Chain A
Amino acid sequence: MSLGANSKTRAAIFDRNLNKTKNSQVSLSAWSFMFSEMIQYTQKRVNGIGDLERRLNTIGYRVGMRVAELLAWRNEGSSKAPKREIRLRDTLLFVHTQVWKAVFGKPADAVEKSVEKDDEYMIIDNDPIITKYISIPKEMSQLNCSAITAGIVEAVLDGLGFPARVTAHSVPTDAFPQRTTILIKLDRSVIEREDALK
Chain B
Amino acid sequence: MAVLGLWVINKAGGLVYQRNFSDGLAPLTQNEFLVLAGTLHGIHAITSRLSPAGNSSGAQVIEGESFKMSIFLTATGTKFVLLTTLADNTADLLLPKIYEAYADTVMKNPFHTPEMPIRSEGFDTRMTALLGPPTK
Q: What is the interface of chain A, defined by CB distance below 8 A to chain B?
A: 29, 32-33, 35-37, 39-40, 43, 133-137, 140, 145
Contact = CB atoms under 8 A, between A and B. Distances in A.
17 contacts: A29-B108, A33-B107, A33-B108, A36-B109, A37-B110, A40-B110, A43-B110, A133-B109, A133-B122, A134-B111, A135-B105, A135-B120, A135-B121, A136-B111, A136-B121, A140-B111, A145-B110
A32 B121 CA distance: 17
B108 A134 contact: yes
Given A133-B122, A135-B121, A39 B110 contact: yes
Interface string B104-129: 11011111100000011111000000
A133 B119 contact: no
Nearest to A36: B110
A37 B112 CA distance: 11
Interface size class of B (residues with CB under 8 A): 10 to 19
Interface in B82-120: 104-105, 107-112, 119-120
A39 B120 CA distance: 16
Contacts of B111: 134-137, 140
Nearest to A140: B111
Contacts of A145: 110
